[in-house]
Amino acid sequence: MSRITVYRALAVAIPLALVELACRVGWIGALTLPPPSQMVVGLWGILKSGVMNAAMLETFRNVVVAFAGSVVAGVAAGALIHAVAPLRRLLEPLFSTYYAVPIYGFYPLFIVMFGLGDKPEILIGFMLAVVAVITATLSGLDSVPRVLVKTARVLRLDPVRAAWRVTLPYAAPQLFTGVKLAAAYSFIGVIGAEFIMSQSGLGYEIRFAYDNLDNTVMYPLILLVLVVAVAMNGALDAWDRRLRARRSVGR
Amino acid sequence: MNLLKLPGVSAALLVLLLLAAWQATFMLAGAVAIASPSATFAYLAEHLPDLLPHVWATGQAFLYALVIAIAGGLLLGLVTGLSATAAETAEPLLLAANSIPKIALYPVVLLLFGIGLPAKVAFGAIHGVIPVAIFTMNAARGVPPVLLKTAAVLHLSPADRIRSILLPSALPEVLTGVRLGFSLTLIGTILGEMFGSQSGLGYLLMTSIGLQNTQIIMAVTVLLIAFAAIVSTALLAWERHLRLRR
């Protein structure tokens, strides 16, 4: 395992070192890409001075709202669609093409409906995330063995206990895949919406810095977005692994 | 209910349902927010020739991006998938890369490539390449070891090994990755056009967002959805066919 960790660290560190070298030697111009180490220093300065705290807070809050909403609505809709077979047959082609639809195209509609601000941004994040949760819920529910569903019925478990003791343990791995995707998509949706048109938030700040050719702000902020996305993914991944490990021990 | 089992009927019903939802949104939000279905289709019928240059521009960029995404994804997936160590090393890195909001990378792409076709292609390709790589890697890992041992016993050449063992065994899952990669590459190309180009459907979308021209926004959205739906339905049917045959 530790050998793999070393390889992983090398797979990240070597390209980074090469980019750093290329920037320092001058193969990549400072206006195109500043050296990664300089971005880290810049990010540290921004975090310490606190100038971006309001933007960060707003973006992260919107991501959390979009994420939580998509998980709750997605699981509920998934359970409903799973229970009603004709509905599922009707909607399945929609789900399979959904992610080719440019959701951002609906952003102006949301702005007109809700005004420029948090709501249309949250809605974009929610719309990107919710279908991943729905499809994950469907495949999770599909993986519950029929015999266990019948056993629960024979034992007259009430729906809540049946869901808790039978459905959830079996559906959990697939469900969690959907939750991980939902977290990533909420983040992508909110940042993207802010980037296209907004008055505040991290995406807006990156756009603003880009339009003003302000590389000393833009690159550290891009780095911040990347670090947060990767950290969020890593944390959910670690949690997922722990859940899976516990499951296989319990068997 | 049995009527619903016919694929054509349920697809038609779904289209009707979506049109109804669209009409309802129009009635709720008004013409300032969204063009009605009838206005959109009237616009499309009248102005489709005006849109065609943009369709070609997007199509060209998308095609390049898709070829790069699929080729790059297959290469990356096969290289990492054929060794257990490489796969274990790469998997969390690929998943993390997949969760990055690539739109934040847009300024970097633009500074590297400048405004125009290369930037669109690059932006489309970075969206599509990772899902293709992830699915290809898992497909290559999922090839039954007994088949690989048989290949070793028979002294198959690497080319034969890929052609007669790896490809047939991995194709359905690779196709799932390609289907996802197709969708994401399309979105990536459109997003690329929105910020860094002077042509294409994404550019049209962005200028119409600025001008609040809801007819063009909806017309472009309809064109993109129709194209995406047709291609991904075809890919899905091919995938199911391959899985059934196994």
pLDDT in tens, A104-124: 878 877 887 888 889 999 999
> Domain residue spans in chain A?
1-33, 34-250
Which of chain A's residues have a Cβ under 8 Å away from the Cβ of B103? 188, 191-192, 195, 203
Inter-chain touch A89–B221, beta carbons under 8 Å: no
Of A107, A206, A233, nearest to B95 by CB-CB distance is: A233
Quick check: A93 pLDDT over 90?
no
d(CA A147, CA B239): 29
For chain B, the first-to-last Cα distance in angstroms comes to: 30
d(CA A190, CA A204): 10
In this prediction, residue A210 has a pLDDT band, given cuts at 50, 70 and 90, of confident
Cα dihedral: A104, A106, A109, A113 (round 10):
-90
pLDDT in tens, B181-216: 998 899 899 988 988 788 899 999 888 888 888 888
In sequence order, the 6+-apart residues with CB closer than 8 A to the CB of A225 are A191, A202, A206, B100, B101, B104
Inter-chain touch A100–B182, beta carbons under 8 Å: yes
Which class does domain B55-245 fall in? Answer: mainly alpha
Which of chain A's residues have a Cβ under 8 Å away from the Cβ of B206? 196
3-state SS track over chain A? CHHHHHHHHHHHHHHHHHHHHHHHHCCCCCCCCCCHHHHHHHHHHHHHHCCCHHHHHHHHHHHHHHHHHHHHHHHHHHHHHHHCHHHHHHHHHHHHHHCCCCHHHHHHHHHHHHCCCHHHHHHHHHHHHHHHHHHHHHHHHHCCCHHHHHHHHHCCCCHHHHHHHHHHHHHHHHHHHHHHHHHHHHHHHHHHHHHHCCCCCHHHHHHHHHHCCCHHHHHHHHHHHHHHHHHHHHHHHHHHHHHHHHHHHHC
Mutate to test the interface with A, among B111, B137, B190, B207 (most CBs of A within 10 A): B111
The answer to pTM > 0.95 is: no
Q: How much of chain A exceeds pLDDT 90, in percent? A: 37
**Residues B216 and B204 sit within 8 Å (Cβ to Cβ):** yes
What is the structure's pLDDT at A250?
46
What is the CATH T-level fold of the domain A34-250, as seen in this structure?
Answer: MetI-like fold (1.10.3720)
Number of CB pairs, chain A paired with chain B, less than 8 A apart: 156
In sequence order, the 6+-apart residues with CB closer than 8 A to the CB of B150 are B165
In this prediction, residue A251 has a pLDDT band, given cuts at 50, 70 and 90, of very low
Q: Which of B100, B47, B12, B54 is nearest to B207 (CA)?
A: B54
Flag residues of chain B having pLDDT under 70: 1-7, 246
What is the structure's pLDDT at A247?
67
Q: Is the ipTM of this complex over 0.90?
A: no
In this prediction, residue A35 has a pLDDT band, given cuts at 50, 70 and 90, of confident
pLDDT in tens, A14-29: 888 888 888 888 888 7
Quick check: A184 pLDDT over 80?
yes
Which of chain B's residues have a Cβ under 8 Å away from the Cβ of A225? 100-101, 104
In this predicted model, which residue has the larger pLDDT, B47 or A158?
A: B47
Quick check: A31 pLDDT over 90?
no
d(CA B221, CA B44): 11
